[in-house]
Amino acid sequence: MSVIASDSITAQADASMQGSADTEMIDENAPRPVYGAGGPEFRALSAREINGGDKYRKVRIPPHRYTPLRNNWENIMRPLVEHMKIQVRFNPKTRMVEMKTSENTEYQGALQKSADFVRAFAMGFEVHDAIALLRLDDLYVDTFEIKDVKTLQGDHMSRAIGRIAGQGGKTRFAIENATRTRIVLADQKIHILGSFQNIKIARDAICKLILGAPPGKVYNQMRNVASRMNERF
């Protein structure tokens, strides 16, 4: 009896597996691997598929940058749409620039680069300077405040800002040209755009000015830095 029962159970299991195999649906449109000499080959995934669908970024625009954004909107929008393949719009209700990947987005980091570009413009950088963030991979923006270097108040703070800028922006331009960076003075905040090493050199020079170093001494140091960088390149 036990042998007969075992054979019956085995037969039922085989029938069940056969029935499930018959009812299983096969998707004819599903991508299939291509087998070559080196094994299976799969098509490259798009940036959209790697990210798991559409991704979004929002960048808030401060009030004092509304007018520059309006005047430079075409110059900002064109590289994002044509080169980064990103959908972009300005939401007047939230005062934010909204960006989204599309089916045409090819580069995986396009959305983050686009957000960094718009954020740099919102900080005060010119479009032709901020656009370098889209073209080069080793650039970023470093931000710090004067009070992070030294606690200053009242006229002392104003004099420190004046030493950094210089007469007619002379000191700031000297630091920018020597270190190949771009600097924005936004009240007590300082934004520096450049490579890691160049930002460090520019930040050290600015910190010396904040601590009270004579501008002439900083000029000489910047000339030495510029000559060394020219020899390097």
- Tell me: do 146 and 211 sit in the same domain: yes
User: 114: which residues sit within 8 A by CB, 6+ positions away?
Assistant: 57, 80, 84, 86, 88, 99, 134
Structure token digits, residue 190: 């300082």
Which residue do the tokens 């108040």 mark?
Answer: 153
Domain count, the chain: 2
**pLDDT tens, residue by residue, 61-101:** 999 999 999 999 999 999 999 999 999 999 999 999 999 98
Confidence check: pLDDT of 156 > 80: yes
Whether residue 148 is predicted with pLDDT greater than 50 in this model: the reply is yes
Q: In the numeric block, which tokens belong to residue 156?
A: 């002392």
In this structure, how many other beta carbons lie within 10 angstroms of the beta carbon of residue 165?
16
Q: Could you give the CA distance from residue 121 to residue 132 in angstroms, rounded to a whole number?
A: 11
pTM above 0.85, yes or no: no
pLDDT of residue 27: 56
What per-residue confidence (pLDDT) applies to 31? Answer: 60
E strand or H helix that includes residue 139: strand 139-145
Q: Domain boundary residue among 107, 137, 167?
A: 137
Examine the domain organization and report whether 168 and 108 are in the same domain.
no
Query: What is the domain range of residue 102?
Result: 47-137
Separation of alpha carbons 70 and 6, rounded Å = 81
Same domain flag for 106 and 146:
no
pLDDT band at residue 221 under the 50/70/90 scheme: confident
Tens-place pLDDT, residues 164-185: 888 888 889 989 988 899 999 9
Spatial contact of 15 and 27, defined as CB atoms under 8 Å apart: no
CATH number, domain of 109, equals: 3.30.1370.10
Q: Average the pLDDT over each of 117-121, 137-141, 162-166 and give the range with the smallest value.
A: 162-166
> What is the DSSP annotation of 82-110?
HTS-EEEEEETTTTEEEEEE-TT---TTH
* Per-residue pLDDT at 134: 92
For Cα atoms 214, 215, 219, give the angle at the middle one, nearest 5 degrees.
125
| Lowest mean pLDDT across 11-20, 86-95, 127-136, 194-203 | 11-20
